[in-house]
Structure 1
Amino acid sequence: MDEITMMRIVELVPEEEFTDLGKLKAFYASTIVQCLSTMGYSASHVDQSEYYSYERKIILDTDAPGKIVDQVISDPDIRAKEAFCVLVK
């Protein structure tokens, strides 16, 4: 039986206008995937960087419930100083 996964969209909100979004997005995407994997969930980053509307969004393909993803992105131990994340969907 196939495992059911959902797309979760996390909005990256930089605190400074001139922050390197690519670097920050890569950091958050890998950290979130690693945290979810450690918790026993499958997770992968779906890169849609080539589309302008996805510039600040991290798209995750995961079986983790939304509340778990929200818990991970709210954890102060993984939060970068330059930005914070918000679960959109």
Structure 2
Amino acid sequence: MIRIEFPSQLSALVAGRTRLEVTASNLKEVFNKIDETAPMVRSQIFDANGAIRQFVGLFLDEHQIHEIGDGTQPVHEDSRILIVMAVAGG
């Protein structure tokens, strides 16, 4: 199964979890599966135009994804998606 790892900042939107496992063949399907479980997560990762928010890092198998496009990037059964949120402060 594909493993999605959420930062603590999003865990409240995923019922307190920091990890979710789904079955999918591409990124679009992965985020559709996340929507089924935690529909508020998408708005924290993507802006209204569907672009990855500036303060979010999205990684697929240790490679940063800068734009998701149509979401057809393939994922594999053992893929890992890591979502990282920037922390700011002084």
State TM-score, norm by structure 2: 0.33
Query: Between Structure 1 and Structure 2, which shows a larger proportion of helix residues?
Result: 1
State TM-score, norm by structure 1: 0.33
Highest RCO, 1 vs 2 (Cα 8 Å, sep ≥ 6): 1
